[in-house]
Amino acid sequence: MGNVVLMHFTTVDYIIFALLLVASTGIGLFYAFSGGRQRTTQEFLMADRSMSCLPVSLSLLATFQSAVAILGAPSEVYTFGTQYWFLGCSYFLGLLIPAHVFIPILYRLRLSSAYEYLELRFNKTVRICGTVTFIFQMVIYMGVVLYAPALALNAVTGFDLWGAVLAMGLVCTLYTALGGLKAVIWTDVFQTVVMFAGQLAVIVVGASQAGGMAEVWRKAVNGSRISGLDLNPDPLERHTFWTLGVGGVFLMLALYGVNQAQVQRYLSSRTEREAVMSCYVVFPCQQIVLCLGCLMGLVMFARYGEDSPLDKGYVKTNDQMVLYFVMDVFKDLPGLAGLFVACLFSGALSTISSAFNSLATVTMEDLIKPHFPNMTEAKATLLSKGLALVYGLVCLAMAYLASIMGSVLQAAFSIFGMVGGPLLGLFCLGMFFPWANSTGAVVGLVAGLAMAFWIGIGSFVMRMSDSIPLNTTALPLFDNMTTAVMTTVNATTPKLRPSGVQALYSLSYMWYSAHNSTVVVVVGLLVSLLTGPMKEKDLTPGTVFPVLGTLLFFLPERYREKLCCVTPLSTPHESKDTTAQPYQMARKDGNGAALCKEDTVTEDKEMESDRAQTEEEDVEPRTPRPSCKLTGQTVEETVF
């Protein structure tokens, strides 16, 4: 084993990296001093609900394409082959279901926070539980996603570690706090272009140096890196068609269906149709990103074969190996290494800025506004900007904490994936099962989180204490936000099939979201049935999707109404009225029955507040509930 080899940047590389930071800051400053100048919470947090399909779709893509994924995917393909490519099979359902189930419900309710839905469907307690869980998830993760690529870059190039961390963190905080969601979305667009350019440059130059793509493919075939369709149904196998193609659907739903960072982008769209179209545009973009990552891995294998820089001791981890490969390919081409580093940190910036903005939104909408209903718009906007700034500083603090965590850093990465599944289960419980009540929702969420941490931490401890030599690998889940740094046994090492609890700990990480969300739904339904199921008259209109009525089409209508009676979704809002809030939170009964009312919005917020105070002095009238007939028209309007 040799010593770690450092490859240094040229002046041109530093200039290109600096241009990325300057351009990102410039976009934030532009939106801070143009248009409405971010003077309202709707403009700062929701981009005035005025965004078109293309920037929203590219922002959706960039948010879940982090530096960890850019480094991880090629490493995965280089080490284990192209089996990982079958993850692309999960993208179709993983984006189709959010487009036609989650978006119609959330968009028509005209929410700002995804967790407002939980109060409308259940009660305030469930909303707070969901919000706190999301904040915990993101705060732990955002510092790590900033620190990890900077650490890898420092190890390979000697690039100043804390200089990179501080530059990225401060620039990201600046443009997020000043420019709001519009700045975040448009910087995501710019950073997406940079990410594509950086990866393409590596593939084109690397393939050319290897003798062309035909030669790259020949070496990959000879080296057994082109994987066939593995239909092994064993859930303990890390990557098979079923773990990637089916388990990946649940991961996609956790991200593109209910994650606040993505939901916020849907809700910022001008119309529901554009929000739906953004999901369709993301589909081919995700396939391109996946193919680029796989091609980089194959080109890297064509260059090094089985004798990798990791085996030679030039680097210490697989993610560092990708950076070493890039620096090796571009050593005689000044500027291109800087382009890839800009690509790498564009992924980090897009993730972190989305985290800042979404955290500021849920903190304001879910934790602060309900306690200060008379807060003026000016104060609310200023406080939202302050929250974005505070979360930026928290991110830097978490990056410092990550630097002293050692091996616990891997567990911190895993936390994001652990929490995503239970949150998905909570939303599915509310949207698909009309008899689920608030007690079932809370108990189900707690059970799902307990199961998630039990399996996740148990797996981590088992792998850390395993006597078999382990190879630390940053597994490249397509999205940054569920990527878990895992330790995997070398593919050539024979291993016995675990049993009992050990088998549970050995469950493929791709099944985590499916398993944990199922626990939430099953426990939530059982508790709801035991404590008194929710009745149709207590449901808030438009919060339940009539999926059961559609699936049980063969039953007589009277039975379908009893089994899955739901309130139809409202008609789509195509208006550009950015202040519309159709539902106003009201009191809840003990089991989560939502007593909400139609909000006839005016532009004068003070008049609206006075009217609300007057209404509270009287007996609040119940909104007439729509009839619960699951007609073909109702289902058709809901789905399309």
CA distance linking residue 76 with residue 300, whole number of Å: 11
CA distances from 303 to 132, 209, 337, 462, 594 (A): 47, 8, 17, 35, 62
CA distance linking residue 243 with residue 58, whole number of Å: 27
Give CA angle at 311 (307, 316), nearest 5°. 140
CA distance linking residue 406 with residue 163, whole number of Å: 20
3-state secondary structure of 472: strand
Confidence check: pLDDT of 490 > 60:
no
**Phi and psi of 342, rounded to 5°?**
-60, -40
Q: Domain residues of the chain, as ranges?
A: 11-25+55-522, 540-639
pLDDT at 465 (0 to 100): 66
- Residue 328's contacts (CB-CB under 8 Å, 6 or more residues apart) are 7, 303
Region 600-606: mean pLDDT is 41
Q: What is the band of 404 on the pLDDT scale with cuts at 50, 70, 90?
A: confident
Residues in the chain: 640
User: Chain-centre distance of CA 66, in angstroms?
Assistant: 10
How confident is the model over 146-198, as pLDDT tens digits? Answer: 887 888 788 777 788 888 899 889 999 999 998 999 999 999 999 999 999 99
Confidence check: pLDDT of 78 > 50:
yes
- Pairing relationship of beta strands 485-489 and 583-584 according to DSSP bridges: unpaired
How confident is the model over 15-74, as pLDDT tens digits? Answer: 998 898 899 999 988 988 876 667 888 999 998 999 999 999 999 998 877 777 788 889
Across 182-196, 465-479, 555-569, which has the greatest mean pLDDT? 182-196
Rg (CA), the chain: 25
CA distance linking residue 307 with residue 450, whole number of Å: 42
Q: Are 64 and 481 in contact (CB under 8 A)?
A: yes
Helix 408-432 × helix 512-531 angle, to 10°: 50
Write down the residue that tokens 């971010």 correspond to.
Answer: 38
DSSP annotation of 473 reads: E
pLDDT at 470 (0 to 100): 36
How confident is the model over 113-155, as pLDDT tens digits? Answer: 999 999 999 999 999 999 999 999 888 888 888 887 888 788 7
Amino acid at site 156: V
Region 311-318: mean pLDDT is 81
Fold of 11-25+55-522: Sodium/glucose cotransporter (1.20.1730)
Q: What is the band of 516 on the pLDDT scale with cuts at 50, 70, 90?
A: very high
Q: Are 246 and 513 in contact (CB under 8 A)?
A: no
Q: What is the band of 323 on the pLDDT scale with cuts at 50, 70, 90?
A: confident
CA distance linking residue 340 with residue 23, whole number of Å: 16
Nearest CA among 539, 534, 546 for reference residue 596: 539
- Residue 510's contacts (CB-CB under 8 Å, 6 or more residues apart) are 238, 239, 243, 244, 247, 248, 251
Choose the weakest-confidence range: 196-200, 317-321, 466-470, 501-505.
Answer: 466-470
Helix 336-362 × helix 161-210 angle, to 10°: 130
DSSP-assigned states of every residue in 483-549: --EEEEE-TTS--PPP-THHHHHTS-GGGHHHHHHHHHHHHHHHHHHHH-PPPGGGSPTT-S--HHH
Q: What is the band of 410 on the pLDDT scale with cuts at 50, 70, 90?
A: low
Region 539-550: mean pLDDT is 80
The mean predicted confidence, pLDDT, of the chain is 80
Q: What is the band of 563 on the pLDDT scale with cuts at 50, 70, 90?
A: low
Confidence check: pLDDT of 302 > 90:
yes
Confidence check: pLDDT of 361 > 50:
yes
pLDDT at 635 (0 to 100): 32
